[in-house]
Amino acid sequence: MSAFLDRIKERAKADKKTVVLPESMDRRTFEAAETILKEGICNLVIIGTPEEVEANSKGLDISGATIINPYTYEKTEEYINLFVELRKAKGLTYEDAKAQALGDYMYYACLMVKAGDADGVVSGACHSTANTLRPSLQIIKTKPGVKLVSAFFLMVVPDCEYGANGTFIFADSGLEQNPDPEKLAAIAACSAESFELLAEKEAFVAMLSHSTMGSAKHADVDKVVEATRIVKEAHPELNVDGELQLDAAIVPSVGSSKAPDSKVAGKANVLVFPDLDAGNIGYKLVQRLAKAEAYGPVTQGIAMPINDLSRGCSADDIVGVVAITCVQAQNN
């Protein structure tokens, strides 16, 4: 395990938060829970019926977790009424709210957070990103002043002299399909903030492209140039530059030859990809070929930390994302 994750866990333990795991139908949830409880990372809530919990936690010690059976829990009625109140303008009835909250534990988990009974949720081991984010956007909504919800991977590359000792944020690599310049600018600003929170180092943000400072002409390049202009204007305090090819962004010698006047070229640690194809391919390439640790997709822009998991995640990945969720919650 990396020094980065050790540090995140230490920060999580210093001010314990309550995180909900709604996927009691998956064994990995309980394997992760055993580790989280043993290490004292957070207070843990698992949502599930006694049958679901028993079937999937055999042989694991999860005695420190709070198990909530939504069918019998004394606050279920309060949560359903809260759901109706939040969605009545959309025509949500009590019956529909009850069916959704009990039929999909992600809704129930988000209602717990909205009611102030938990600080964050981690889900997605056996649910799609849409099924993880839809309830959070309906119930918890976006942070004040934030234009959109995006997702990043926190990448820790072993034996790497680039970035912040091999630590990077890759964004958006989980959610926003083909962001326009305004969205790309918003992703850049949010990602810089996330990097500084989690890595505890100054962010240097590269707006990536197949072109460096006008070396190629194409509408796709124009999009990145415009996004760079928008984010620089809105956030003059940020170290952000573009458009930059990947090597110009992270390799000092290439950065100084291709973009000599840039304060980001050659030292970027936040990589903003032009679209989801590039971001998703990029993080998976680095994860598999460089054997990097990839934590995420971590969401940014939701009013409370609600994080998605890759469906191929391991129990250890869940532990890492839970620890990150705790640090995000401390910052709220």
pLDDT in tens, 64-111: 999 999 999 999 999 999 999 999 899 999 999 999 999 999 999 999
| pLDDT at residue 89, as a whole number | 92
Q: Cα-Cα-Cα-Cα dihedral of 286, 292, 297, 300, to 10°? A: -100
- Kindly report the pTM of this predicted structure: 0.90
Distance CA(330)–CA(325), nearest Å, equals: 9
Q: Give the tens place of pLDDT for each residue, 233-280.
A: 999 999 999 889 999 999 999 999 999 999 999 999 999 999 999 999
| pLDDT at residue 206, as a whole number | 97
| pLDDT at residue 258, as a whole number | 95
Distance CA(154)–CA(325), nearest Å, equals: 12
* The two three-digit tokens of residue 5, written as one number: 């994750």
**Sequential DSSP letters for 119-139:** SEEEE-SSS-HHHHHHHHHHH
Strand-pair category, 43-47 with 239-244:
unpaired
